[in-house]
Amino acid sequence: MNFNITLLPGDGIGPEVVTEAVRVLEIIASKYNHAFAFAERLMGGCSIDKFGSSLTDETLADCKSADAVLLGAVGGPKWDDPAAKDRPERGLLALRKGLGVFANLRPVKVHPALIDSSPLKPEKLEGVDILVVRELTGGLYFGWPKGRDFKDGRERAVDTLEYYDYEVKRVMELAFTLAKGRKKKVTSVDKANVLESSRLWRQIATKIGKENPDVELEHMLVDTASMRLITGPAWMDVVVTENMFGDILTDEASVLAGSMGMLPSASLSESASGLYEPIHGSAPDIAGKGIANPIGTILSAAMMLRHSFKLEVEAASIENAVDATITAGCRTADLGGPLSTRQMTDEIISRM
């Protein structure tokens, strides 16, 4: 099969890890007789430097016409000035909105051989296998009005948390569908004791729960969920939540896996196309050293094969190779080992 993939390596370690994921995809293409055509574009800080915009219209158009997009990471101290008129994160939000990727899937699995890399007690981590489904294009990050002004002689800042019923419904339905292929349990996270948008969220979750009686639904307040992720993560299966709660809870959940560098994500739209990226940032502290862990990006490429291209066998072959590589004791610096980004990928490729 033929697929067009737009690559957005971005800033910092982004290009280092995307290069390795492309190597893995090229092995898949030759082994399973597919053709992947890669088109590389600038996005984030590097795009601000070259074009004066974190995401140009041309790059967005290329991403929209591709079968899938693989992103590294964007941002860094060079573009951190809060007064700047464009920032790398703006490009990321515009990309998500432009692609219509309304659901972000972040699997968090604790590999048995890495249990000691997590700050949590080993007995808390056994059997942890969570899929966080985060709403990605609504809520506080996109609501309007938003901005700063002066009112009654005081400086004021406003953000708006807004959700339409259809935005909640589509992400909730996706969570239930995904739960059916897993342990059939959905934890819907909200703040319904305080927020009106959360009461709408809970109402729709309850309705979809009734339509899917084979899936167990529990409602949980976001404060309880943040505790539960640390005190009893093994009890959770699919966790579905709104944009900002998901942003925070997924970073908390990443601690369970031992390193930010391990975790992939998939952002899905109504069409088959999607945006795939590791959950970590551009890691300016290690950029250019060749020591970044490439696994989060390589597993994101596997998610791309599964969700956008429906190549389940190929996706599983990458995931199995990563598992075997970790089991064999191969480690990059973030996991306390000596391997470089390239050497870690070589180990994975040798097991594919």
Q: Is 129 a catalytic site residue?
A: no
280 forms part of the interface with ligand NAD (CB under 6 A): yes
The catalytic position among 11, 191, 237, 334 is 191
* Residue 309 near residue 68 (C-beta atoms within 8 A): yes
The 49-88 contact track toward ligand NAD, x by CB under 6 A, reads ------------------------xxxx------------
Q: How far is the CB of 39 from ligand NAD (least distance, A)?
A: 19
Here's the x/- map for ligand NAD, 104-123, by CB under 6 A: it reads as: --------------------
326 is a contact residue toward ligand NAD (CB under 6 A): no
Q: Give the neighbor-by-neighbor strand order of the sheet with 68-73.
A: 35-40, 2-10, 68-73, 274-278, 264-268, 103-109, 129-135, 238-241, 185-190, 216-221
Indicate if 223 belongs to the active site: yes
Q: Cβ-closest residue to ligand NAD? A: 281
Please count the other Cβ atoms lying within 10 Å of the Cβ belonging to residue 81.
Answer: 9
In the complex, minimum distance from the CB of residue 235 to ligand NAD, in angstroms, rounded to a whole number: 27
Does the annotation count 323 as an active-site position? no
Q: Taking CB under 6 A as the rule, does residue 325 contact ligand NAD?
A: no
Minimum distance of ligand NAD from residue 76's CB (angstroms): 5
The reply on whether position 300 binds ligand NAD by CB under 6 A is no
CB of 260 to ligand NAD, least distance (A): 4
* Token pair listed for 88: 């790398």
Window of 105-113, 155-163, 292-300, 320-328 that interacts with ligand NAD by CB under 6 A: 292-300
Per CB under 6 A, the list member of 261, 264, 275, 315 interacting with ligand NAD is: 261
Question: Of residues 118, 282, 308, 345, which one binds ligand NAD by CB under 6 A?
Answer: 282
Q: Where are the alpha helices (DSSP H) in 165-294?
A: 165-180, 196-211, 222-231, 243-254
**Cβ of residue 57: shortest distance to ligand NAD, in angstroms?**
20
Q: Are 176 and 208 in contact (CB under 8 A)?
A: yes
Cβ atoms 192, 198 nearer than 8 A: yes
User: What's the rounded Cα separation, in Å, for the pair 264 and 322?
Assistant: 12
Q: Determine the distance from the C-alpha atom of residue 276 to the mean position of all C-alpha atoms in its chain, rounded to a whole number.
A: 7
Amino acid at site 52: G
247 is catalytic: yes
User: Could you confirm whether 169 is annotated as catalytic?
Assistant: no
R_g of the chain, CA atoms, integer Å: 20
- Contact between 258 and ligand NAD by CB under 6 A: the answer reads no
Residue 196 burial by Cβ neighbours in a 10 Å radius (0-12, 13-18, 19+): exposed
Q: Are strands 103-109 and 274-278 parallel, antiparallel or unpaired?
A: unpaired
Omega cis (within 30) before 107: no
Segment contacting ligand NAD by CB under 6 A, of 28-36, 53-61, 135-143, 275-283: 275-283
Token pair of 274, please? 């999607």
> What SS3 state is found at 130?
strand
Token couple for 185: 């349990």
Distance of closest approach, residue 341 Cβ to ligand NAD, in angstroms: 8
Would you please indicate which residues are annotated as catalytic (active-site) residues? Answer: 141, 191, 223, 247, 251
Q: List interacting residues with ligand NAD (CB under 6 A).
A: 13, 17, 73-76, 89, 92, 260-261, 277, 280-286, 292-293, 296, 334
